[in-house]
Structure 1
C-alpha cells in the first residue's frame, strides 16, 4: 500500500473473498481503511465476519451452479430457435 499513494484510489475489487480479505488487511494496516473500500466475491463466512467487524466493505454471493443453469437455459432456448430474454 505504501507504493500506491494516488489519492484518487477509492476502492479495490477482488475476484474472490480470499484476495479481498488479504487486501483489506493490508489497507487497514496502512491506515487507509476509511478511504479505500475493498469488495470481494463468494460470500464466505470469513468475509461476512470481516464485514461485521468493519474491515471489509462488502462481498458478493456467487453460485457457479446457478450461473451454469442460466447458461444452459439460454442455450436450450437458442437451440429451439426462441429468443433469449434480455
Structure 2
C-alpha cells in the first residue's frame, strides 16, 4: 500500500505540516500493524524508498501530491537462515 498525501498545499499553509503528514502516516502504519496481527498476518512499513517509481507509475508529475510511506501485509514466514539469539547472549558466562 502506498500512502499518498496532499503535499504542496499543506506545506504552503504551514511548513510544520511536513512533520504532521509523516506523523499521520506513522500512526496509520501502527494501526495497520495491529490490524494485521489481529487477523493472523504480519505487516511491515517500508518508508518511501519507491516514491519516484510510484509517482511515475500513477502519473504524479509535481509535488501537489507526494508518496509518503509504503506498507505491506502478508502471511508470516520464518526464515530458518536467520539466527535469533536472546538479548546480550554474548555476555553470558563472563
State the TM-score bracket (shorter-chain normalisation): under 0.3
So what's the TM-score if we normalise by structure 1? 0.27
**Structure holding more strand per residue:** 2
Higher relative CO (CA 8 A, sep ≥ 6), structure 1 or 2? 2
